[in-house]
Structure formats: structure tokens, C-alpha cells
């Protein structure tokens, strides 16, 4: 009889509630969804207060009529009104649950028994400890006095999707339900942790990057799922509500980012297709922007864009992954079959979940758990895919190993033959280099010469037998008319042969044009040189000097500075134009109209000149520090002044002390001329 009474009472409640606006409580029901029977007002400006809405006529209120009330992403505040009626003769205790855990602000207004209302405020904009009940969703304990009714008001506002599933639970039944749900959640989280640990161990064992990216993908997805369920706020950062909000779009952007890295590595062959490559690069850029922007979404507009944009990005990323997998599957790529299967399962689950987020689909067990089912299915399939990839590699390795001995023997024979040919070629090359070096050295001025008014000493050190440096003396008996020092770009036989050709052309022009200034000599030399080496890439830099009693005429073609030591003052100066650099462009480059500044200066007895190639200033010590022009100037200034050879020996001792055991890495030529009488000493 009692059961019949409650059945009739419940039936009357279902029929009469939408009309009368009161929800008649059936004590025999452990779960009472009330969303269908609530009235709501959408407050676009968010400025309404309880006094405002309490005095609104019924015509301003809209009956929900839906089992799942959702408003998608909205800036409005939502007010709910509902009346709970207890027909029983005893007090009833219930829990009122708002099951969507991502609401920023929730205010529940309960009658206080004196004609007013007491306010209970919570939401994920507040610390987790502010909740009236310790749970990942929002739960409010209610007590309904015997044979009474209460009218309650609730205000909701959020930057995430507005979903309002309200349910009354009997306390014991609610505790049993959350125990079951927690077990399921722990099982799902545990499976994800197992997959993380398994793939992390696989990465540690074989160092395949796809395993590492897969671990990061699962970990970021697990963090995202925990934010959606509210467990992340409950257990990981309950004291940081700001992060509980910011981490939602952040973690979803991380999911897309690590999914891109995993796909690029796992389906590396797909990056050969331009459309797939462009598609994934777009997802990469957008996901990076999402990770950067999400933590700084300080205002509501930016945050709403981040909250709404990242699910759309995730949806498009899944669609893009399926597109790539389908295209690669059509190319009969084995890994793409697994990849496609996993992403299709996840795509179905993701579509259901996104549909619920935007209120296109109702919030129920299927839509609430769809994304978890999809991700678990995908994780298992992709883990199998990676295991299959390793197994395929193992089989391929076994096939390669089966005839490896034959291949190694054949390759060894080929290498031995190649080594014999290489040794023969090396012997020929060494002989050619030696011949070229002997030819080059025979053409350089090596004999001791006595010159009136000049004492000369020099050092010439080729780096590889054949030098790219060359020098020449222009004299008539004991009268020294000029000297040249040039450096050809590059090293080896080609550069050495070019020095021989250039030396011959310059010697002829210098001696045939004694009445022309050095600018004309250098231009003529450059023209004839270009005619001979038009198809060769090497070029030359250098200096050319002409002597006439105490006057020195000097031009420089992009070479190192000529230095002069004044015997009277002991100062070293670099000889260059005061108006602009005396250095022109290199020689031997077609299309450049080279004109040279001709410098003239006087020398007195005891004055010294120093000519050098860049090998002397570019030599380095054990710390990779170059000797440099300043050290050369300092050594020249402090060198003995009794002879050119003494000054040269002093400078080379300073260079040797600086470089230590480090060999020269370029050709080195250095010549010192002292105004006086002496000999030319060239050292090898």
C-alpha cells in the first residue's frame, strides 16, 4: 500500500511539476534529475541580483523542459529557479549536484527561515576548499523539512562551456555512485600510466623518439582529461584556481603539439607529401601559439577564444590525422593502417565529447566518457602499432643478417681494391706535389744577393709543399729596383701553378714599364692575368714596391698592411693613404675596374720595411687565439735594428713562442728590408 502511495505521488509530481513549478520529492528515489523542471533567465550583462530576479514575474522566466540544459560558450550569467516540495512527514536530506566541473562561479541561494536567503558560493575561480562538499563536481547538501517546500535560486557564470546538469541525490546513493566513478577513473588513469611507463621503458631501451613523443602525448592528454573531470583541481593544484582555469586550453594545445611530433616521427614517410607536410606544420604553429597564449589569457575575451578555439583545433587536428592516415594507407604503408584505426576511434569519441561541450549533444554517460573510451582505444592501437614497427624492423634485420657475411666479404674485396688504387693515386699525387713544389721554389729568388743601400732577409714557409704565396725581387746587378709579395686564394697545386704564371706576368710588366707609375703596372698586370685565367676561380692579393734612391713607391691590392720602422723614433707605422684606404680590390676577378692609390714616402738609413702574407697574423695558439697584426707591430718595433736578419729572427721567435706546438694553417711569407747594405736570406 505504501509503495502504491509513493508511485501515485511521483506520477503526480511528474505531471504537475511543469505546470505548478514545484518538484515533488519522492523519498523512494535515490536519484532525481531536476534540470527539466527548472526555470531560467539569461542575464546578458551579468548585473542582476537576487532581489532583481526574485521580484521578476513568472513571464520573465523560461521553463527548461530539457534533461540537459546547456548554453555553450556564453558571456551571460544564468539564473535558475526551482521549488522543492517534501510531502513526507519527516525531514529529507539530499545532495544537489551540478555535474559539470568547469563552472567558474556558482551561487546557491537557500531560504534562511526568516524570509531571506543565505548564499553559498563556490566555483573553480575559488580554492577547492571553498566547496561545501569535497568532490570534483559541485555538490550542495540540502535539508527539506517535513511537509514543506523551498524555492531556491542559483546563479552561474563561466568562461568555459555552460552546461547545467542538476541532480538530487540521496546521500548514501551519491556516496556509492562517486565510489564507483572513482574506481572507473582510477582504472582509466591507471591504464594511461601503464602505457606511459611501458612506452618510456621502450624509449630507454631502444632510443626511438616516437616512443618519447608518444609518452608526452599521453601525459598531456591525461592531464587534459583530469582537468575535464575536475580531478586535477581536486588532487593536483587545489590551492591554485587560476592555474586550474588556464591549464584547460594549455593542456589541449599540448596534446595537439605532441601529437604532431609523434606523427612526424612515426609516419616520417608522410612528410614527403607536400599537403601532409603543410597541414601538420600549420597544426604545429597553431598549437605552439595556443601554448604561448593560454597562460596569458588575462581577460575574458582572450580566455573565451582560447577555451573555444582549442577544442576546434583538436577536432581539426584529428580530422587532419585521419586524412594523412587514409592517404598513406592508400599507398599501402603498414604503419598507416594502425594509425588510421586508432585515430578513427578517437575521432568518434572526440566528436561526441565536443558535441557535448558545445551543447549540440546531451550530457550523459556516453558523451561524458566518450573521449576516455576513444583515447584508450587509440593508445592501445598505437602501442600495438609501435610494437609491430619494431617487429617489422627485427624481421628486416634478420633478413639482412642472413646474407650479411657474403655482402661483407664482397664489400671487403671492393674496399681492398679501392685502397690499392687509392695508394697508387696518393703516390702519384705526392710525386706531382713534390714536382710542383720544386718547380715553384726554383723560380723564387733564393740566391744570396748583395744590393747597394739595402739589407734583406725573409722567411718562406709553404703549408702543403706548394704555396699560394710568392714574392719577387726586381734588380739590376747590385741595384734593387723593386719587390713584390702576393698571395693566391686557395691551396694546393692549382694555387701553386697560378703563382708561377702571375710571377712571370708581373715580372715582365714591371721591367717593361719603368717610366709608368705603379698604378699602370698593376692594371696592365691584372688585364694580362685575366686573359690567362678567365675560367679559374682563384684571385690574388698583394703589394708592389718600387725604389728610387730614398723614395719608395707603393701600391696595395687588398693585401695586409706594409709596415715601416723609423730608425730615429723607433715607431712602427702602417703605410696607407690618409684620404682613404690604399687597398683596392683583389686581382684576377673579371668585371672589376681596379684603380690603385700610389703612395710615396721617404726612407733614411736604418729604416726598415716589413712585408708579410696573412698567414703570419692568422696563426693561432692552443687556445685558438690568433697572433694578430698588433702583436706583429709590437714585435717589429722591439726587434734588433743592426740587421734585417736579426730583426726577422726576433719576430719569428716571438711567433714560435706564441703558437707553441700548434702548426701553421696557411702559407707564411715575411720579408724585412733595411735601408743599408746586406744580403737576402730566404729560409725553408
Distance of CA 204 to the CA centre of its chain: 23
Instruction: Determine if the pTM surpasses 0.75.
Output: no
pLDDT for residue 563: 92
pLDDT for residue 682: 41
Closest CA to 48 of 159, 162, 161, 154: 154
119/108 Cα distance (integer angstroms): 6
**Residue ranges of the chain with per-residue pLDDT less than 70:** 1-21, 269-271, 294-311, 313-314, 354, 356-360, 363, 365, 393, 396-405, 408, 423-443, 446-450, 465, 534-535, 577-584, 593, 677-684
Where in 517-591 does DSSP place strands (E)? 540-548, 551-557, 562-565, 572-575
pLDDT for residue 538: 80
In our burial notation (b when 16+ CB lie closer than 10 A, e otherwise), range 643-669 reads bbbbbbbebbebbeebbeeeebebbbb
Tell me the pairing of strands 479-488 and 682-683. Answer: unpaired
236/244 Cα distance (integer angstroms): 9
pLDDT for residue 72: 80
pLDDT for residue 358: 58
Distance of CA 649 to the CA centre of its chain: 53
DSSP alpha helices (H): ranges in 331-484? 334-357, 365-402, 404-443
pLDDT for residue 255: 82
565/638 Cα distance (integer angstroms): 10
pLDDT for residue 256: 81
pLDDT for residue 80: 95
pLDDT for residue 402: 65
327/267 Cα distance (integer angstroms): 12
pLDDT for residue 8: 40
pLDDT for residue 73: 80
Structural domains in the chain plus CATH codes? 2-169 (2.60.40.2380), 185-394 (1.20.1070), 449-683 (3.60.40.10)
Amino acid at each position: 500500500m505504501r509503495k502504491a502511495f509513493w508511485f501515485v505521488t511521483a506520477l503526480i509530481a511528474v505531471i504537475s511539476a511543469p505546470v505548478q513549478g514545484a518538484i515533488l520529492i519522492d523519498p523512494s528515489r535515490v536519484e532525481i534529475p531536476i534540470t527539466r523542471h527548472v526555470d531560467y533567465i539569461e542575464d546578458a550583462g551579468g548585473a542582476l541580483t537576487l532581489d532583481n530576479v526574485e521580484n521578476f514575474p513568472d513571464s520573465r522566466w523560461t521553463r527548461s523542459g530539457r534533461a540537459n540544459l546547456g548554453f555553450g560558450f556564453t558571456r551571460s550569467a544564468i539564473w535558475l529557479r526551482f521549488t522543492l516540495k517534501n510531502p513526507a512527514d519527516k525531514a529529507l536530506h539530499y545532495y544537489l549536484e551540478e555535474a559539470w566541473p568547469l563552472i567558474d562561479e556558482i551561487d546557491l541561494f537557500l531560504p534562511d527561515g526568516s524570509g531571506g536567503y543565505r548564499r553559498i558560493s563556490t566555483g573553480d575561480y575559488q580554492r577547492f576548499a571553498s566547496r561545501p562538499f569535497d568532490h570534483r563536481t559541485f555538490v550542495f547538501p540540502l535539508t527539506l523539512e517535513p511537509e514543506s517546500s523551498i524555492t531556491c535560486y542559483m546563479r552561474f557564470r563561466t568562461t568555459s562551456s555552460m552546461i547545467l546538469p542538476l541532480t538530487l541525490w540521496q546521500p548514501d546513493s551519491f556516496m556509492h555512485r562517486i565510489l564507483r566513478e572513482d574506481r572507473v577513473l582510477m582504472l582509466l588513469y591507471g591504464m594511461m600510466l601503464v602505457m606511459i611507463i611501458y612506452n618510456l621503458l621502450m624509449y630507454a631501451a631502444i632510443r626511438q623518439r616516437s616512443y618519447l613523443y608518444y609518452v608526452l602525448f599521453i601525459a598531456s592528454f591525461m592531464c587534459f582529461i583530469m582537468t575535464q573531470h575536475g580531478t586535477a583541481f581536486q588532487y593536483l593544484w587545489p590551492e591554485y584556481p587560476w592555474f586550474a582555469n588556464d591549464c584547460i586550453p594549455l593542456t589541449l594545445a599540448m596534446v595537439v603539439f605532441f601529437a604532431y611530433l609523434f606523427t612526424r616521427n612515426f609516419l616520417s614517410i608522410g612528410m614527403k607529401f607536400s599537403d601532409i607536410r603543410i597541414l601538420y606544420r600549420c597544426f604545429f604553429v597553431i598549437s605552439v601559439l595556443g601554448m604561448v597564449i593560454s597562460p596569458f589569457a588575462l581577460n575574458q575575451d582572450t580566455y573565451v577564444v582560447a577555451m573555444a578555439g582549442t577544442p576546434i583545433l583538436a577536432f581539426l587536428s584529428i580530422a587532419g590525422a585521419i586524412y594523412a592516415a587514409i592517404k598513406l594507407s592508400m599507398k599501402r604503408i603498414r604503419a598507416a593502417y594502425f594509425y588510421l584505426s586508432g585515430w578513427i576511434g578517437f575521432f568518434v569519441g572526440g566528436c561526441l565529447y565536443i558535441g557535448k561541450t558545445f551543447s549540440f549533444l546531451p550530457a550523459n554517460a556516453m558523451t561524458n566518457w566518450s573521449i576516455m573510451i576513444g583515447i584508450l582505444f587509440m593508445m592501445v592501437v598505437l602501442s600495438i602499432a609501435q610494437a609491430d614497427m619494431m617487429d617489422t624492423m627485427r624481421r628486416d634485420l634478420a633478413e639482412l643478417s642472413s646474407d650479411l657475411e657474403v655482402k661483407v666479404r664482397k664489400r671487403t674485396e671492393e674496399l681492398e681494391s679501392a685502397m690499392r688504387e687509392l695508394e697508387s693515386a696518393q703516390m702519384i699525387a705526392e710525386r706531382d706535389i713534390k714536382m710542383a713544389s720544386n718547380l715553384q721554389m726554383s723560380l723564387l729568388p733564393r740566391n744570396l744577393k748583395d744590393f747597394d743601400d739595402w739589407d734583406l732577409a725573409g722567411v718562406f714557409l709553404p703549408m702543403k709543399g706548394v704555396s699560394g704565396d710568392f714574392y719577387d725581387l726586381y734588380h739590376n746587378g747590385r741595384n734593387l729596383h723593386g719587390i713584390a709579395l702576393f698571395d693566391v686564394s686557395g691551396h694546393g697545386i692549382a694555387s701553386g701553378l697560378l703563382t708561377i704564371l702571375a710571377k712571370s706576368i708581373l715580372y715582365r710588366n714591371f721591367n717593361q714599364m719603368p717610366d709608368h707609375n705603379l698604378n699602370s703596372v698593376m692594371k696592365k698586370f691584372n688585364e694580362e692575368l685575366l686573359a690567362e685565367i678567365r675560367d679559374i676561380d682563384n684571385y690574388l692579393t698583394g703589394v708592389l714596391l718600387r725604389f728610387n734612391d730614398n723614395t719608395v713607391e707603393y701600391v696595395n691590392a687588398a693585401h695586409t698592411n706594409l709596415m715601416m720602422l723609423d730608425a730615429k723614433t723607433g715607431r712602427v707605422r702602417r703605410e696607407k693613404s690618409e684620404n682613404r684606404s690604399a687597398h683596392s680590390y683583389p686581382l684576377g676577378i673579371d668585371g672589376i675596374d681596379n684603380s690603385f692609390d700610389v703612395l710615396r714616402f721617404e726612407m733614411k738609413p736604418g729604416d726598415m720595411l716589413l712585408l708579410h702574407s696573412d698567414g703570419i697574423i692568422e696563426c693561432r695558439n692552443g687556445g685558438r687565439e690568433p697572433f694578430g697584426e698588433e702583436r706583429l707591430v709590437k714585435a717589429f718595433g722591439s726587434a734588433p735594428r743592426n740587421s734585417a736578419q736579426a730583426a726577422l729572427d726576433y719576430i719569428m721567435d716571438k711567433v714560435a713562442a706564441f703558437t707553441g706546438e700548434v702548426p701553421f694553417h696557411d702559407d707564411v711569407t715575411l720579408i724585412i728590408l733595411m735601408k743599408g747594405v746586406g744580403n737576402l736570406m730566404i729560409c725553408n
